Amino acid sequence: SKCSDIHYKIKGHNGCFDWKLENETWLKLVKKETSSGCFNSVSIISKINTEYKNYIILNSIDKNTSTKFKIRIGFSYINSLAVNKRFTNTIVGEDLEIWTSGYDGNGNQFSSLEGLSFNWTVKNSEKMKSLSNNSNTLAEIVKLSQESKDISDVRRNIEIQKLSDICFLSGLDTGIVEVFSSLSENGYSNLTSNPTEVFIKEDFEIVHKEIWMDIKTNAKIDMFLIQEEKTRNINDKSLNTFDNNKLRVKVKSQNYIHYNHTLSDSTCGKFNLSNDAIFRSNEKICDTKLEITDKRLPQYNTDSSFIHVVDPNNIDSGFIKIDKENVSDLSIEKIKELDLLNPSKY
């Protein structure tokens, strides 16, 4: 990489600053003057490609208060890399910011890797190998310029052909991926970071949290994925409703293979996700808890419902006054919200 590509920007706040390097042989100082004659932003640029064992001092003075500051600047070869992320997990359809940090041989972290080119690699974790339908990569790398408007010209120019030290990881499906970065510069052909794991989840819910069914009937268990609004496909007929920019999309039967289920009382009935997710009772009065988990990420993706199998002796009916706005949506959740199952209310 050209030395002039390596920049580090320093800003001063709440003052009127001027700056001076004690040694300009190794570094170049570029000052940006404001309309008031202050230099509150400067860039440090490396001049030569060699290691310097000592520190160079950058002096700064606040013209208003005569307060002086000293900044020690050191520069060396990069000895190791590490991939960092803001969160341990992300969500399908969302982008997680990731970046590379560099360290010298003494473990000192470089303040910035801006100006250097990188290769980014994402692959499915070895933990996903035992699961079916795992031929596709669960995430992809997205350039910083595609997601962020606040990008420096240096990084933007790098991304014309390569990738910079900062990018985004976009989740495509649930599971665990490993992310690597390697420095794409002369002299650093074998410098690659250790893998960093990212968990990609997709919240889902069983539509009815409590189900009452006759001993002679079967119950269809519907599941919906909870997605971000920006992942919406306007041609998808399985769309349900938005709630705070969230979208509920019905899980398609061919995707049930991603999930496992358990019944707290296995003698109560039979449930098979691969057979249209229908609960078939064993014609006995019983209660059971149905729990469904995403087998790729059981620690993150799970939901449950209580099933009550009853043998009613008689059928009763009654009339309840409901506000007009509630007539069109009498879901189980809405009934609970209105407390319609409380006879003492009427």
Beta-carbon contacts of residue 37 (< 8 Å; ≥ 6 apart)? 16
- Residue bearing the bigger pLDDT, 231 or 11: 11
What value does the mean pLDDT take over residues 34-38? 83
Q: Which tokens in the block code for residue 92? A: 């399908």
What per-residue confidence (pLDDT) applies to 102? 94
**135 residue type, one letter:** S
**pLDDT confidence bin for 333, thresholds 50/70/90:** low
70-108 confidence digits (pLDDT tens): 988 887 888 999 999 988 889 888 899 999 999 988 888
What per-residue confidence (pLDDT) applies to 130? 67
What value does the mean pLDDT take over residues 254-277? 84
- Residue bearing the bigger pLDDT, 274 or 230: 274
**pLDDT confidence bin for 15, thresholds 50/70/90:** confident
The label of the residue with tokens 């209580």 reads 306
What per-residue confidence (pLDDT) applies to 8? 77
Question: Above 60 in pLDDT, residue 187?
Answer: yes
Question: Above 70 in pLDDT, residue 344?
Answer: no
What value does the mean pLDDT take over residues 200-209? 85
What per-residue confidence (pLDDT) applies to 223? 83
121-170 confidence digits (pLDDT tens): 999 998 887 665 556 788 999 998 887 777 888 888 889 889 999 999 99
Q: Which long-range contacts (CB under 8 A, 24 or more apart) does 240-248 make?
A: 248/205, 248/224
Question: Above 70 in pLDDT, residue 322?
Answer: no
221-247 confidence digits (pLDDT tens): 888 887 655 444 434 444 444 444 556
**pLDDT confidence bin for 192, thresholds 50/70/90:** very high
- Residue bearing the bigger pLDDT, 231 or 44: 44
**pLDDT confidence bin for 115, thresholds 50/70/90:** confident
Question: Above 50 in pLDDT, residue 10?
Answer: yes
Mean pLDDT (the chain, rounded): 80
What per-residue confidence (pLDDT) applies to 346? 35
